[in-house]
Amino acid sequence: QVQLVESGGGLVQAGGSLRLSCAASGRTFSGYGMGWFRQAPGKEREFVAAITWTGGNTYYSDSVKGRFAISRDNAKNTVNLRMNNLTPEDTAVYYCAAKRRGPPLGGGAVDYWGQGTQVTVSS
């Protein structure tokens, strides 16, 4: 089992920034691809960003590309999502995700989920 705990969500004005963090614990974190998904009210959960185990490759949805940046620190078992130039359309619950052997690019491929953290962007 891998436990994922997100933090850093909150309320921010449009144009502002937030940094989400996800701390992993439990069995070895080694080899896991990590990612972030989000779910807005009344919508399906959607992919936001992902990063490979080595951090050598990152992936973003078109809606956040150029504004969000995913990173990880394997020594600390953490993965972060820096979100800049936020808009009300970014309002959602953000979930950390872990996948054995490869980045989690789809919800169906995720092995572990965090409990989620709320991000609200006011206009």
pLDDT at 11: 98
Burial of residue 73 (CB within 10 Å: 0-12, 13-18, 19+) is: exposed
Other Cβ atoms closer than 10 A to 30: 9
Q: How do residues 43-85 score in pLDDT, each as one tens digit?
A: 999 999 999 999 999 999 999 999 999 999 999 999 999 999 9
pLDDT at 120: 98
Assign 85 to helix, strand or coil.
Answer: coil
Q: Please give the C-alpha separations between residue 116 and each of 31, 36, 54, in angstroms, as whole numbers.
A: 22, 10, 24
Q: Residue 52 is which amino acid?
A: T
pLDDT at 44: 96
Assign 8 to helix, strand or coil.
Answer: coil
Q: CB of 17 within 8 A of CB of 9?
A: no
> Where is 94: in which H helix or E strand?
strand 92-100
